Amino acid sequence: MQEMMSAEDAQLYGRKTFEAMRGFWPNQVDDTTGVTDHLNRVDKYVISTTMDKPDWEHSTVLHGNLLDEVRALKERPGSNLGVTGSISVCHALIAAGLVDEYRLLTYPVVVNVGQRLFDVKGTTTLGLDLLDATPFTSGAVLLRYQPN
């Protein structure tokens, strides 16, 4: 996780995920994982038509078109932009071909509810090349894919 976090220059969120993250992470005081420090330090961008003030340091609300905003962020130097949660944002980025790399942390638990990551309207096939697979003692596996 620390290696992944160190490679990110910024995080992108939809409003709901951002509000959930903002409600939890800034309040953590005994986090030894480094996640709290990373999230409090990294630039955060939230796509929203209703939010005006993000109320979390290093956060910016983007009111424009999601795809235009992401293209502009990707043009900035060093712009490794991570997305956590925010399924509608993920679906739009996948459909537009704006994802450079997928980092999927898979846990040994089957959950049969919620929206699927690759259930994107208008996309019938998405070819991926496996870049790396890292298993952990917990049974979780980090899979890194690149669109081909």
Q: CB of 145 within 8 A of CB of 118?
A: no
Q: What is the pLDDT of residues 66-82, one digit of tens each?
A: 999 999 998 888 768 99
How confident is residue 123, by pLDDT bands cut at 50, 70 and 90?
Answer: low
Under CATH, domain 2-147 is a member of which superfamily? Dihydrofolate Reductase, subunit A (3.40.430.10)
Q: What are phi and psi of 90, to 5 degrees?
A: -60, -45
pLDDT at 3: 77
DSSP state of 78: T
The helices-and-strands tally (H runs, E runs) of the chain is: 5, 7
Q: What is the pTM of this model?
A: 0.86
Domain ranges (residues) in the chain: 2-147
Name which of 74, 70, 125 is nearest 93 in CA terms. Answer: 70
CA 117/CA 85 separation, integer angstroms: 9
Average pLDDT over residues 114-118: 81
CA 148/CA 100 separation, integer angstroms: 10
pLDDT at 79: 67
Q: CB of 95 within 8 A of CB of 120?
A: yes
Residues 6 or more apart whose CB falls under 8 angstroms from that of 137 comprise none
Q: CB of 88 within 8 A of CB of 66?
A: no
Please report, as a single letter, which amino acid is at residue 95: A
Q: What is the pLDDT of residues 90-99, one digit of tens each?
A: 999 998 999 9
Q: In this model, does residue 122 exceed pLDDT 80? A: no
How confident is residue 119, by pLDDT bands cut at 50, 70 and 90?
Answer: confident
